[in-house]
Every structure is written in C-alpha cells, then in structure tokens.
Amino acid sequence: MKIAITGKGGSGKTTIAAGLIKLLVEKEKSVIAVDCDPDISLGLALDFPEYARIKPICEMKDLISQRTESDPLKPQGFFKINPKVDDIPEKFCPQDKGVRLIVMGKVDKPQGGCLCPENTFVRSLIGHLVLRQDEIVIMDMVAGSEHLGRATARGVDIFLIVAEPSETSIQTAVHIQSLAQGLGITKIFYVANKVKNESDIDFINASLKAKVKGVISVNKALEQARGRFVFDETLHKEVETMYNAISGLS
Ligand SMILES: Nc1ncnc2c1ncn2[C@@H]1O[C@H](COP(=O)(O)OP(=O)(O)OP(=O)(O)O)[C@@H](O)[C@H]1O
Ligand SMILES: [Mg+2]
C-alpha cells in the first residue's frame, strides 16, 4: 500500500503521517517512510535516531551525478533521465524499528517541471518506491504534488488530503484534489484535522462536497508538546479509525 499525504502548510500532514507509521509498525508491518517536504520533519516526529545527521537524498551530489551521469559543473548539460535507484533505500537510508526513512530534501530549483539531475533522481526514486510490491510506503508530501510525475502517481494507491476547518485550508484541499485527479489518481480521500466539534465536520464535509474518511480532533497532548509529535491514546484511536476507513477495513 502506497499512501501520499498532502494538504495546506501546517494542516497536520507530518502528524498524520507519523501516526500512521507508528500504527502500522505496531501491527508489525515494515514501513518505508518518505519525507518529501523540503522542511524536513518526519524523522523528528518519528524520533529517529540521529535524525539531524541523516543526509537528504538531494544532497548526495556525487551519487546523483554518478547515477545520472551528469556533470555537477554543468547542471544544464545532458544527463540520464532514468538513473539506477533500486538499491538506494537499502544502501543509503537508515532503518530503525521496522521503519526505513527516506529523506528527499530540498531540490535547489523546486519548479514543478524542473529537469535538473537532483529532481530527476528524486522522481525516479519515488517512482521506484511506489512500484515496489508488497511494501507499505507512507509519503509526507509538500502541499501539492510537485514531486509526483504522472507515471509515479499511477503507483500511489491512496492520496490523503488533510483539511482543517478553515476556508483557506479547504481551498488548498480542493486545489490539490484537482491536481491529483489530473494526474490520474482515483483514490483521493480527505481527513479532517484539528476538529473541535460536529459543526467543524459539517463545515468540512459541506465545503468539500465529500464525506471525510477520518476525523482527528484538536489534541491537547499535541498542543502542549509545542510541535513535538506525541501519539496519545486519543490520536491513536482516531488514526486507527481513519486507517481502517481508507484501507477498506471498515
Ligand atoms: N489534531 C491536532 N491537534 C492539535 N495540534 C495539532 C494537531 N495536528 C497537528 N497539530 C500541530 O499543528 C502543527 C502543524 O502540524 P504538522 O507539522 O503535522 O503539519 P504539516 O502539515 O506537516 O506542516 P508543514 O506544512 O509545515 O510541513 C504542529 O505543531 C502539530 O503538533
Ligand atoms: Mg510537515
């Protein structure tokens, strides 16, 4: 199962990704966790050992120029657009307690269609990950779907859009949905986050013209932790209910 999590900045993508990953590990699944956000944070949320020292893929300049056969001094020159990437997770990405963490990092020129070696390498790697059979891949995305090419998008089983009960969050969510549909993704689900009451859920459902697949309430433990990830009983239950709904278990 390959799940890409997206939504407006600050909506709770990393929190929900980390919750899902923890839940799946508890169920004795091994998970590939992919941090696609240039503002790296999934490793911290997962409390990954020495997360601050993990070198993002984009910064592996020598490896990228070797694999793409590009000249780092001539970034606009010719290079290979289908580099070998199948050994990258095992050789270059750390593993801890059932989780393999892949940190993509920040591509220097983040334009959507940028054809620099770094971006091509990242896209190839994501493309490879979503096609690996029998593996669970959870991707913490940036808002939007810049990293997803059309071919890659076909490999994503579920596109999960996090929406907060606010007009701007809903606007972004709807925009992302149309981008994802344009890429040919069919299973696009919404999860409502930071919900205070029933009327928040009604507002989100009505604004999205779709029923959310999960509801995560405003969580006191998270609020008190000031940005640190905490997986308390309430969040655990809500993430599990959401997982069952999106994976068709309920
Ligand atoms: N249900 C919740 N209740 C209370 N606080 C929450 C909840 N979900 C997320 N938060 C808090 O909101 C902040 C943003 O969450 P998070 O980092 O998961 O969002 P994000 O979408 O990944 O942000 P970014 O776009 O910056 O990557 C964090 O401080 C987090 O602890
Ligand atoms: Mg995040």
And the tokens for 74?
């001539």
Confidence at residue 145, expressed as pLDDT on a 0 to 100 scale: 57
Which of 174, 136, 133, 128 is CA-nearest to residue 3?
136
Distance set, CA 236 to CA 70, 116, 122, 177, 242 (Å)? 45, 40, 31, 26, 10
Ligand 2: centre distance to CA 35 (Å): 8
Residue 167's contacts (CB-CB under 8 Å, 6 or more residues apart) are: 207
Residue 188's contacts (CB-CB under 8 Å, 6 or more residues apart) are: 158, 159, 161, 177, 180, 181
Atom of ligand 1 nearest to the CA of 9: 25
What is the pLDDT averaged over residues 157-173? 94
CB distance 81 to 125 below 8 Å: no
Place of tokens 């507002």: 203
Say how far apart CA 208 and CA 228 lie, in whole Å: 29
Say how far apart CA 217 and CA 210 lie, in whole Å: 19
What is the pLDDT averaged over residues 144-148? 60
Residue 113: pLDDT over 60 = no
- Does the domain formed by 2-246 have CATH 2.40.50.100? no
Sign of the torsion angle spanned by Cα atoms 66, 131, 180, 41: negative
Strand 188-195, strand 158-163: pairing: parallel
Look at residue 95 and give its three-state secondary structure: strand
Atom of ligand 1 nearest to the CA of 193: 1
Place of tokens 């549909």: 181
* pTM of the predicted model as reported, rounded to 2 decimal places: 0.94
Nearest bound ligand to CA 16?
Answer: 1
Axis crossing angle, helix 61-68 with helix 117-131, rounded to the nearest 10: 80
Confidence at residue 43, expressed as pLDDT on a 0 to 100 scale: 96
pLDDT category of residue 148 using cuts at 50, 70 and 90: low
Cβ < 6 Å from ligand 1: which residues? 7, 9-15, 37, 39, 41, 193-194, 216, 218-219, 222-223, 227
Ligand 2: centre distance to CA 13 (Å): 5
Confidence at residue 74, expressed as pLDDT on a 0 to 100 scale: 75
Atom of ligand 1 nearest to the CA of 7: 21
